[in-house]
Amino acid sequence: MSELKHINNILKRFIDGLYTRKDADDLLKHLHEGKYNTEISETMDAVWETIEDDELSLARQESYKEEARLLLDRIRKPEKRLSFTPYFKYVAMLVAVFAIGWGTFNMFRSNQQKELAYIEIRVKNGEHRQITLPDGTSVTLNAGSYLKYPEHFISDIRQIEMDGEGFFEVTRNEEKPFVIHTKDAHVKVLGTSFNVKAYDIDEQLTVSVRTGKVQVDLPEAMMRLAPDEQLVLDKTKGEFQKRNEDAKLSTIWIKGGLYFNRTPIRTVVNELIRMYNRPIAFAPGAEYDEYIYGEHDNKSLESVLKSIQYSTDIKYRIEKDKIILYKN
């Protein structure tokens, strides 16, 4: 019964739009062994409905189905030829995990050689910048961000590279998915609006959806997000979660505001440096592992520092034009 409960927990995560490589391996193992087929059939129907409802072109869905047939052929037992029909939805779902997910991590490198010329954008601290990509996609970049994209999208995937934060309003094209490559995750959409915060130096990565659906590929997992859902990746621990979050709060930075929801203090400081273009450092001799909460609407840097001081035991002082955070 504990094994069946484990399988059901995996299937619930699939329905919730969270797929991991280990989950897929476990499900393939149970499929090969022929366990619990009756118990999981109804759940698999629900999972398949979520895939059919996904924003994929018919051509891509057919591609996944063909890969499912090939995968099923490889895992059938020689002594017991499994019928294809009962397991088709099961295997096709897993193919969607593998085919959509981890393949995109190598996709950018393989296709880079085909692109002839790139444009690179760097946004200074204390500034924002709005640009329009070759396909008409609108991007608002936050301070300290870097964006690299081709002059023309000539392949069947619109790929860009980013280190920083940006709000994207992607021009819809079902035949050419739009993929944002960052150091720790890749974000894939067909046409939607969403915010990606993925600075290399920060401890957290977040993806927040305003409209449409967004898929986030991690090295060992894949997650799908709907409007007002957010992925939070703790890069120091390698942990990730999906949570409900008003997308308007995630883009408050566009109007000069700040919003923190269990944000590591070091990530908060990085954001303050970028936003206010002021040097801030931690005094040695103490651990700084606090999490910060709160919303600040166009507040001065001093006001933000005071609110941090009120909610934690972290104080600040100014030495010349540098701000030092310290503990007694």
**Most trustworthy range by pLDDT among 2-11, 213-222, 265-274:** 265-274
Least confident of 41-50, 155-164, 290-299: 41-50
Pairing of strands 221-225, 138-141: unpaired
Same domain? For 35 and 68 the reply is yes
251 lies in some domain:
no
pLDDT at 129: 98
Q: How many CB atoms lie within 10 A of CB 223?
A: 24
Give me the CATH number covering residue 144.
Answer: 2.60.120.1440
Contacts of 76 (CB under 8 A, 6+ apart): 82
pLDDT at 33: 73
- For tokens 């993806």, the residue is 207
What does the pLDDT look like over 175-231, one tens digit per residue?
899 999 999 999 999 889 999 999 999 999 999 999 999 989 888 788 889 999 999
pLDDT at 197: 98
- Could you give the number of structural domains in the chain? 3
Cα–Cα distance for residue pair 10/14, rounded to 1 Å: 6
pLDDT at 79: 42
Same domain? For 226 and 306 the reply is no
Same domain? For 14 and 36 the reply is yes
Contacts of 199 (CB under 8 A, 6+ apart): 144, 145, 163, 164, 165, 270
What does the pLDDT look like over 131-154, one tens digit per residue?
999 999 999 999 999 999 999 998
Same domain? For 115 and 151 the reply is yes
> Which pTM was predicted?
0.81
Contact criterion met (CB below 8 Å) for 153 and 137: no
Same domain? For 120 and 223 the reply is yes
Same domain? For 314 and 201 the reply is no
Cα–Cα distance for residue pair 272/81, rounded to 1 Å: 61
Same domain? For 112 and 233 the reply is yes
Cα–Cα distance for residue pair 45/125, rounded to 1 Å: 50
Provide mean pLDDT across the span 260-268: 96
The neighbouring-strand residues paired with 207 are 196, 231
230 lies in some domain:
yes
Same domain? For 217 and 263 the reply is no
Cα–Cα distance for residue pair 204/303, rounded to 1 Å: 24
What does the pLDDT look like over 54-96, one tens digit per residue?
444 455 455 445 544 444 454 444 444 444 445 555 555 555 5
Least confident of 29-43, 101-115, 134-148: 101-115
Last residue of a domain, one of 192, 212, 246: 246
Q: How many CB atoms lie within 10 A of CB 250?
A: 24
Give me the CATH number covering residue 302.
Answer: 3.55.50.30
Cα–Cα distance for residue pair 314/326, rounded to 1 Å: 6
Same domain? For 151 and 54 the reply is no
- Residue-number span of the structural domain to which 141 is assigned: 107-246
- For tokens 């992925």, the residue is 231
- For tokens 């590279």, the residue is 161
